[in-house]
Structure 1
Amino acid sequence: MSLPYAFGEPPVTGRLRASPEDFVVDEVLGLVPEGRGEHLWLAVRKRGENTAWVAKQLARIAGCAEREVGYSGLKDRHAVTTQWFSLPAPRQPVDWSRLAVRTAAEILVITRHPRKLRTGTHRANRFLLTVRELEGDLEGLEARLTRIAREGVPNFFGEQRFGHEGGNLTAVRAWFAGGKPPHRGQQGMLLSTARSTLFNAVLGRRIEAGNWLTVLPGEPLLLDGRHSFFIAGEVDEAITRRLREGDVHPSGPLWGKGGTQAQAACAALEQAVVAAEPLLAEGLEREGLEPARRPLRVIPRQMHWRQDAAAKVLTVGFVLPAGSYATAVMREIVRSD
């Protein structure tokens, strides 16, 4: 799916992820392990490794089942990332240095907590990204960065949600068309892929219509950093101010049974877009997923940047809430393969 830009094509081109060190991600957990309890919590820094593979190696070293290893979310493989894992505290001493032998990863912190680390526990991710071979309108780039820090960017699901060359989307279409159901471990990812496709389509339509940052009649407005929303009635100065300040955000559908939670004109727009993908919409409703909302906008917090014109390098840092993609921010900044 070709996604539109919110502010027109970026004014520069460049190379992102020339090496894993150019894409640094640190998990912001949102809680402090208590230092006691039945579970070990490990802060792990990895380079060029995916999360599931590291979890598998931790299970082998600790002598526990893979399903007993917990982590909050998947992190980019082609990057240097720091994230937390948990596992039942082993009864015998363990040589954790074996992790560095098995993988390009190292354990930074070992502590304890009473509970297993669950999916979605972390609050945010901190990114430090480097773009190389920068070419184009550098003055225009400075203005673009300033605008993004103030207004945010479309909260698109990133291409990694859809699998290599869109393989997840192909698989969920085949499943919903009557094919063999995937095994249980894959179903959640494929259902998320279907929802993400519909969300991106709605957001793309609203960007094209120029109303992705406009409150529509019947719009569910999401409170910043929370999953709760209220339906917009009359759009008064208070709502306009809260939208401008980033306290509330327009939202799009995470499709499920009963369709959309929007009303009036907002519901009509979403239903019209989703009508072009009846296979995905009907499949999600049939699987009984509860509908939910996702902000159409994400504002990179603590955003900072530095340009080195002589070296043709741009470094950008920011914090995003869990579930938002750094690639969605960077696609508005630089055109990159």
Structure 2
Amino acid sequence: MSIAPTPVIEVTKPWRSFSQLPYAFGGPQLSAQLRTQPADFMVDEILAFGPDGDGEHALLRIRKTSANTEWVARRIASLAGVSIKAIGYAGLKDRHAVTTQWFSVYLSSAPEPRWRLLAEDGIDVLEQHRHRRKLKRGSLAGNQFRIRLREIQGDLDAAAVKLETLAAIGVPNYFGPQRFGRDAANLVRAQALFAGVAPRASRQQRGLWLSAVRSQLFNELLARRVEREDWWKTALIGDRLQLRGSHSHFLVDGIDERIAERLRSGDLSPTGPLFGDGEPLTESEVRALEEGVAADYPDWVAGLKAAGLKQERRALRLDIEDLEFERIGSTDAVLGFTLPAGSYATSVLRELSSWTEPSLG
């Protein structure tokens, strides 16, 4: 018996794909090939804390190639002889890459497994420690990236100037395309979920669909502020400003030189909504702009509220640390930088270069 495809439910206004989002600095100067091999995209997790050194959990730092996070978690659980629920990790990492990542394993009083056996599955254990708590999602300070661009074409002098601008100002903090699934499948399934015609799915799958909708709405709001030039990085009356390295934010009812300087330094950033239930948190023109997005996608906003999600805020500006650009031969280069947790390397890369990549299964 065949399974009927998920029906597509129309929204009031078509959404913009990642490639259609406006640029902050006039578009890329370069074009290149990306991910011709896994080592072209390298990511290292930076934990927000150090290992305790004792406890009932093993804390593992592993390196994986062309493997997704959930598959690795299941291989670790199998070796340790524990349920998948005993495994913790701080974030999902791209399959088509070489990544280092942290996992926790609840062992209680069981002996330490022979972690080196994971090498048979292509998983290298780089560090192992004891820890007192399960590793939770979001327990990262950030991620370090090294991205190789191949067969570069374009104006490298202009690109060098832009790199200085990106390092000084940052980029719009868009959610990356991997958030939405291939061909925006997560958004399509979320629409079906809101319409009551979605196929049966796990709680985790539904969570991915809902997160995709919130991310798309945020991208739309941020795009409208980018289209108003510096609105994505400048505070407006009625904005909520977020403290760097924190989820704390406050309402702006006046902008003096002290606030302006903290914005320039990156200590503060304007924020946009992660839509959900609750009263609007902004005022004045900022509130009107956010309500305009909600009015264009009423079914999405209503669906998020019905799912019990609460309003949150996310920084509109993404600050980049340790930005480097190293030429390799006459056609290639490596772009290196560090980003805070929850942000996307593609939001940085798109301002510098367009790219093509092989079809990835």
Question: TM-score scaled by structure 2?
Answer: 0.90
AA partner of residue 282 (structure 1)? A
Deviation at 1:182, TM superposition (A): 3.1
Q: Aligned residue for 2:68?
A: 50
Which of 237, 240, 252 is matched with 1:220 structurally? 240
Deviations 1:9-66 (A, max 9, x none): 1011011222111111111002111211101111100011111000000111111011
Distance in 1 of aligned mates of 2:118 and 2:321: 33
Q: Aligned residue for 1:74?
A: 92
The reply on whether 1:123 has 2:137 as its aligned counterpart is no
SS of alignment partner, residue 168 of structure 1: helix
Question: Do the aligned residues in 2 keep the contact of 1:261 with 1:292 (CA within 8 Å)?
Answer: no
Q: Aligned residue for 2:352?
A: 333
SS of alignment partner, residue 353 of structure 2: coil
Distance in 1 of aligned mates of 2:134 and 2:308: 28
Distance in 2 of aligned mates of 1:93 and 1:158: 38
AA partner of residue 70 (structure 1)? G
The reply on whether 1:272 has 2:273 as its aligned counterpart is no
Question: Do the aligned residues in 2 keep the contact of 1:205 with 1:273 (CA within 8 Å)?
Answer: no
Q: Aligned residue for 1:106?
A: 124
SS of alignment partner, residue 250 of structure 1: strand
The reply on whether 1:144 has 2:167 as its aligned counterpart is no
SS of alignment partner, residue 64 of structure 1: coil
SS of alignment partner, residue 151 of structure 2: strand
AA partner of residue 97 (structure 1)? R
SS of alignment partner, residue 140 of structure 2: coil
> In the TM superposition, what are the counterparts of 1:103-252 in structure 2 within 5 Å?
104-180=122-198, 182-210=201-229, 211-252=231-272
Assess, with a 3 A threshold, how the Cα gap between structure 1 residues 12 and 259 changes in structure 2: closer, same or farther.
farther
Distance in 1 of aligned mates of 2:150 and 2:340: 26
AA partner of residue 207 (structure 2)? G
Q: Which moved more, 1:175-184 or 1:36-45?
A: 175-184
Question: Do the aligned residues in 2 keep the contact of 1:221 with 1:231 (CA within 8 Å)?
Answer: yes
Question: Do the aligned residues in 2 keep the contact of 1:16 with 1:132 (CA within 8 Å)?
Answer: yes
Q: Which moved more, 1:237-246 or 1:151-160?
A: 237-246
Q: Aligned residue for 1:291?
A: 311
Deviations 1:123-176 (A, max 9, x none): 111111111111011110001111000000010000000011111111111101
SS of alignment partner, residue 232 of structure 2: coil
Deviation at 1:259, TM superposition (A): 5.3
Deviations 1:310-335 (A, max 9, x none): 42112111111100001111011101
Deviation at 1:239, TM superposition (A): 1.6
Which of 48, 54, 64 is matched with 1:36 structurally? 54
Identity of counterpart residues, as a percentage? 44
Distance in 2 of aligned mates of 1:270 and 1:297: 17
Distance in 2 of aligned mates of 1:193 and 1:44: 28
Q: Which moved more, 1:259-268 or 1:49-58?
A: 259-268
Q: Aligned residue for 1:313?
A: 332
Distance in 2 of aligned mates of 1:182 and 1:54: 22
CA RMSD across the alignment: 1.4
Distance in 2 of aligned mates of 1:250 and 1:314: 33
